[in-house]
């Protein structure tokens, strides 16, 4: 077995050194009735060729986004990742290191996380960011729980424009941790009034920008209304690239930002691993969940980095920790950091313009189709269409024609007749003129 260095000779010699007659002696504490004598019913060991053949066959059965015109978004976006990113994150020193508990020999990880925290704070317009959480949805739930701790209140108001999966995750945490959610119904056509839902017991209001339907909104007035009532204002961002073009949450009065960072540096991966971003204000930092890296000096006075404010965390606080989270999304954060370092100010803003341009061009093209109506007035790289018929069969028909045409709202909101005809469509820098033409043609045909 290629991954196991011990030889039978080694094993025999080591057993002698240990003073055990056979390996079974070392498992003597296992109750008799629980000892497996033979092998479990699974295939025997395979070489690289065989494993590659079998898993390659599974991979080949899937329609990869890069092979077809592709327009899906809804919380996961397909962007170009520069080759240097994947090369660098596969360096063994990054890939195969543990959480940086020994800072003297983990400065590489600690420094990139410090750079990551800075990038996230800059991008969101916030003062401080942590070293990442699991994904955008868990970050959103953690934001609500942090707001509960800070305000001593236990009820959060969620916008209907929040990604429905994020709402479901928050609801799961609410059910078990024990707090209340007032989730506004989805309002894809607009007209949501969240101020009317605010009460003296509201810990926070959670909105998404751009919202699930793609609409970009100014939330400054809502933030002010929250702050007048001692309510915190939480902004969720599922397409982090939008912040290269759109005013950041920090400028709209956000107290906490929870975001999905997958768009930068990370592949679609069928939904994971992704990258939860979490940013807030300096004065709230002691109630933030997740790891934080801070600057300090070593015994020779040289600058260095350490994990800090760990007393918030489970390994010290145990049942009184701010969160039970242990790991972050380190390697995804590294990919994000390197991609953003490559882009820089000029590259990120240009990439955002390219995305916006691609979406505007696509919207103009699709709006012209008979019976198709564009819902969003303002959008970044994604928008919602109302089709003249249910969207799910249309998407299925498009897939049969080799076009991955978007996400039907019914996939995430089944059983809502008013949303059955809605189709979410995204375009990015990877969307070509030809892709747009093929989607328009296929859609026209499917709607005929």
Partner 1 sequence: MSDWSQALSSHAGGGAALAAATTSGNRGLQIEESLIFEEDMPGRCGVDLPEPPPFRDRLGGLARTGPIGLPGLSEPQVVRHYTRLSQKNYAIDSGLYPLGSCTMKHNPRLNEKLARLPGFADIHPLQPLSSVPGALELIGTLAHWLKTLTGMPAVALSPAAGAHGELCGMMAIRAQLEARGDPRRRVLVPESAHGTNPATAAACGYAVDPVPGNDRGRVDRASLEAKLGPDVAALMLTNPNTCGLFENEIVEIAAAVHRAGAFFYCDGANFNALLGRVRPVDLGIDCMHINLHKTFSTPHGGGGPGSGPVALAAALAPHAPLPWLVHGENGLALLEHREGAAREAFGRLKAFHGQMGMFVRALAYMMSHGADGLRQVAEDAVLNANYLRARLCEVLSPAYPGACMHEVLFDDRFLKGTGVTTLDFAKALIDEGYHPMTMYFPLVVHGALLIEPTETESRASLDAFIEVVRALAAAAKAGDAEPFHAAPRLAPRRRLDETAAARKPVLRWRPPAAETQAAE
Partner 2 sequence: MSILRFTKDHEWIRLDGDIAVVGITDYAQSQLGDVVYVELPEIGRRVEKGKEAAVVESVKAASEVYAPVSGEVVETNAAIAAEPAKVNADAEGEGWFIKLKLADPKELDGLLDEAAYKRFVEGQG
Q: Quick one: what does residue 49 bind among partner 1, partner 2, none, with the CB cut-off 5 to 8 Å set by partner type? A: none
Contact flag: residue 311 with partner 2 (CB under 8 A): yes
Q: Show the tokens assigned to 339.
A: 């991609």
Helix axes 330-367, 107-124, angle to 10 degrees: 30
Nearer to partner 2, 269 or 311 (CB): 311
Contact flag: residue 389 with partner 1 (CB under 8 A): no
**Rg (alpha carbons) of the chain, rounded to whole number:** 25
In the chain, how long is the greatest CA-to-CA distance? Answer: 82
> Out of 230, 347, 390, 444, which residue is the one contacting partner 1 (CB under 8 A)?
347
Contact flag: residue 58 with partner 1 (CB under 8 A): yes
Site for partner 2 in 229-288 (CB under 8 A): 286
The Cα 257–Cα 126 span in angstroms is 8
SS3 217: coil
Residues 104-143 vs partner 1: string with x where CB under 8 A? xxxxxx-xxxxx-xxx-xxx---xxx-xx-xxxxx-----
The Cα 117–Cα 293 span in angstroms is 8
Contact flag: residue 272 with partner 1 (CB under 8 A): yes
Cβ-based neighbour number of residue 155 at 10 Å: 21
Of 198-206, 226-234, 309-317, 377-385, the window that binds partner 2 (rule: CB under 8 A) is 309-317
Q: Work out whether the CA dihedral 26, 28, 31, 35 comes out positive or negative.
A: positive
Contact flag: residue 300 with partner 1 (CB under 8 A): yes
Angle, alpha carbons 244-246-248 (nearest 5°): 90
Cβ atoms 266, 274 nearer than 8 A: yes
Q: 375 — phi, psi (to 5°)? A: -80, -45
Contact flag: residue 377 with partner 1 (CB under 8 A): yes
Contact flag: residue 326 with partner 2 (CB under 8 A): no
Contact flag: residue 390 with partner 1 (CB under 8 A): no
Nearer to partner 2, 317 or 368 (CB): 317
> Out of 92, 152, 191, 200, which residue is the one contacting partner 1 (CB under 8 A)?
92
SS3 205: strand
From the CB of 317, what's the least distance to partner 2, in Å?
6
Nearer to partner 1, 66 or 200 (CB): 66
> Out of 190, 224, 228, 326, which residue is the one contacting partner 1 (CB under 8 A)?
326
From the CB of 97, what's the least distance to partner 2, in Å?
22
The Cα 258–Cα 133 span in angstroms is 9
Those residues whose C-beta lies under 8 Å from the C-beta of residue 416, and which sit 6 or more positions away, are: 186, 409, 410
Contact flag: residue 316 with partner 2 (CB under 8 A): yes
Cβ atoms 74, 211 nearer than 8 A: no
Q: Quick one: what does residue 22 bind among partner 1, partner 2, none, with the CB cut-off 5 to 8 Å set by partner type? A: none
Residues of this chain that interact with partner 2 (CB under 8 A) are 286, 310-311, 316-317, 320
């Amino acid at each position: 077995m290629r991954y196991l260095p011990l030889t039978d000779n080694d094993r025999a010699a080591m057993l002698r050194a240990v003073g055990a007659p056979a390996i079974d002696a070392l498992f003597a504490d296992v109750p008799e009735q629980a000892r497996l004598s033979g092998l479990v019913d699974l295939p025997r060991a395979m070489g690289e060729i065989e494993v590659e053949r079998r898993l390659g066959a599974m991979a080949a059965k899937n329609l990869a986004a890069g092979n077809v015109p592709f327009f899906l978004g809804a919380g996961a976006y397909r962007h170009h990742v520069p080759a240097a990113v994947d090369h660098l994150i596969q360096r063994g020193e990054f890939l195969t290191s543990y959480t940086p508990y020994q800072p003297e020999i983990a400065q590489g990880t600690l420094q990139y996380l410090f750079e990551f925290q800075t990038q996230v704070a800059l991008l969101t317009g916030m003062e401080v960011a942590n070293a990442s959480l699991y994904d955008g949805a868990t970050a959103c739930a953690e934001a609500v729980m942090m707001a509960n701790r800070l305000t001593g209140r236990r009820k959060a108001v969620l916008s209907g424009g929040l990604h429905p999966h994020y709402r479901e995750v928050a609801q799961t945490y609410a059910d078990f941790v024990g707090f209340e959610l007032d989730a506004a119904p989805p309002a894809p056509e607009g007209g949501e009034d969240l101020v009317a839902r605010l009460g003296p017991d509201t810990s926070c209001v959670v909105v998404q920008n751009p919202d699930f339907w793609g609409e970009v909104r100014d939330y400054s007035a809502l933030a002010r209304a929250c702050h007048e009532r001692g309510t915190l204002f939480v902004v969720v961002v599922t397409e982090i690239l939008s912040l290269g073009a759109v005013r950041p949450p920090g400028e709209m009065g956000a107290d906490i930002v929870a975001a999905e960072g997958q768009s930068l540096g990370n592949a679609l991966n069928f939904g994971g691993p992704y990258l939860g971003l979490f940013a807030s204000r300096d004065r709230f930092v002691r109630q933030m969940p997740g790891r934080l890296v801070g600057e300090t000096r070593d015994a020779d006075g040289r600058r260095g980095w350490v994990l800090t404010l760990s007393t918030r965390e489970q390994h010290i606080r145990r049942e009184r920790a701010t969160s039970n989270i242990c790991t972050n999304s380190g390697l995804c954060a590294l990919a994000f950091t390197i991609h953003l370092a490559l882009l820089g100010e000029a590259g990120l803003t240009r990439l955002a313009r390219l995305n916006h341009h691609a979406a505007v061009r696509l919207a103009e093209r699709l709006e012209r189709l008979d019976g198709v109506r564009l819902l969003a007035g303002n959008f970044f790289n994604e928008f919602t269409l109302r089709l003249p018929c249910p969207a799910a069969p249309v998407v299925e028909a498009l897939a049969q024609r080799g076009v991955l045409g978007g996400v039907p709202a019914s996939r995430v909101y089944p059983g809502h007749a008013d949303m059955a005809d809605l189709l979410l469509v995204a375009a990015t820098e990877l969307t070509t003129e030809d892709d747009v033409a093929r989607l328009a043609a296929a859609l026209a045909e499917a709607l005929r």
